[in-house]
Amino acid sequence: MSRQLLKQSQQTLALSASSTLRNSTGIAINTIQQRQYHENVIDHYENPRNVGSLDKAAKDVGTGLVGAPACGDVMKLQIKVDENGKIVDSKFKTFGCGSAIASSSVATEWLKGRTVDECISIKNTDIASHLKLPPVKLHCSMLAEDAIKAAIKDYKKKQTV
């Protein structure tokens, strides 16, 4: 194998996941599954916005904590709401894959400056479309939607007490 082909193969493997299959005669065949993510996912994964926590006990803060048992992702999303019902801050902490982190980051950006009622209309399909998530990663955007709804529910519950 020439040096140039070897270098190209190494670069491809750096972006790929390899696996071994067996053909009908039982001989092992190495395959490469290349997974390419949209630049929006990479940007929000490498430079996540609004990572952190707000005071969970504060009356103007709503906290949503959700998880996906199938993959082990856990997402905490918090909102801080002003006296007019507008979200003035939003933070997240996510333990999961790059798509889950990117979904959380996008969600927190979209929440800021909107009213609580406007934010209820944010759907996982909007987040997935923005990030160009592959079908196998749609559950990450569903977690973000669920976390938004849970944070809003927690905030509203505190307002009735």
Choose the catalytic residue: 61, 106, 140, 144: 140
Host domain of residue 28: 3-36
Annotated catalytic, 119?
Answer: no
Average pLDDT for 95-99: 91
H/E stretch holding 63 reads strand 61-68
The alpha-carbon radius of gyration of the chain (Å, integer) is: 20
Please give the pLDDT value at position 27. Answer: 59
| Same-domain check for residues 114 and 80 | yes
Annotated catalytic, 71?
Answer: yes
Count CB-CB contacts under 10 A for residue 70. 7
| Same-domain check for residues 77 and 130 | yes
Average pLDDT for 88-113: 95
Q: How does DSSP classify residue 52?
A: S
Please give the pLDDT value at position 157. Answer: 97
Choose the catalytic residue: 54, 65, 68, 71: 71
pTM of the model: 0.77
Torsion of CA 54, 56, 60, 65, to 10 degrees: 90
Q: pLDDT band at residue 61, thresholds of 50, 70 and 90?
A: very high
- Of the chain, the end-to-end C-alpha distance in Å amounts to 71
| Same-domain check for residues 13 and 68 | no
Confidence check: pLDDT of 25 > 70: no
Q: What is the CATH number of the domain that holds 106?
A: 3.90.1010.10
| Same-domain check for residues 105 and 129 | yes
| Same-domain check for residues 64 and 137 | yes
| Same-domain check for residues 51 and 21 | no
